[in-house]
Structure 1
Amino acid sequence: MADVQELARAAGVEPTVMDWLTALDGIARGLPELGSPDPARRRRAAHELSDTAARRFTLTGDARCELSEHRVPTRSGEITVLHYRPPGDRPRLGHLSLHGGGFTLGSVHEVVNDRLLRHRAAASSGSLPTGSASAGSLRAGTSPGSSRRTPATAAWPWTTRCSKCLG
């Protein structure tokens, strides 16, 4: 990381950002699979790096949000939708966060996404004209290089059909 630190200092990166980069480097050094030639092993290690960093550097999500997981059949295969519902019974707007498909990394099951979507759902409570937002996190398809891909748009028909039951 010495070269990166030197470049960052030369570019005027803030000391707190440098501390964060140094901490991430320390976490990454404990994950040798990040350098694996096997893409599946690299993805698992990257997921572990993301989860470890999120637990260390982000605020926890609002535990009052109810989480439900849905398996949605599409023409291209099944997709996973996680639904975060804030407390209360009012109608809600929706927020859809997409993962997978054309993306190489990321998952609906990452700690950072869970915390972010719980926060978004709970923070909107009472601040929107129709109440609060219900956040959905969609894993569309599989990673690049896989033989089966499901476009993120495949969830839209299900989301609109189920909008009343999702809240």
Structure 2
Amino acid sequence: MSGGVEILLRRTDPEVPVPSYQHPGDAGCDLVTTEGAELAPGERAVLPTGISLALPDGYAAFVHPRSGLAARCGVSLVNAPGTVDAGYRGEIKVIVANLDPRETVRFERFDRIAQLVVQQVEKVRFREVEELPDSVRAAGGFGSTGGHAADRPARPAPADASGVTLQTAAQQKDYVAVGADRASDLRGQ
């Protein structure tokens, strides 16, 4: 790869392959495990990759899940993405989790378990202020821009036996009042 950033790499396992990109234009290169493991549903494990890096100052590497493992086996990373700082010199290890509710997942030595993305990162300086400037989004978050439910027709609000319309927490938006009356039903929250 010409023109790329040179990263110093040390193999902690002499047989481990050097991470590589599978296709031109890929952002992530594959990381493999040097140990086999078997994860029952809901289990997690810390798997070694057999490599350590010396990233240049101003760079970090991020360990991302592999989409194929997620789709086929329900495998993800507990702390995705994992961050490898420029000053870290230890072996890169990957915390994998089996999120499938029924099937056990088995890893063999040198199975691809994650992908590594190296990026330039900025150092920032924080300046405390009394108020932040306005923006179009403001404080909207956690689904404030819509999603799959926003594309469906609205359902009528549920009513109790006497015909009084009940509000859900999402309809109240700001808070849920908890009390002894019938509008304080918290099911589904």
**The TM-score by the shorter chain falls in which range?**
under 0.3
More helix by share: 1
TM-score (norm 1): 0.24
TM-score (norm 2): 0.22
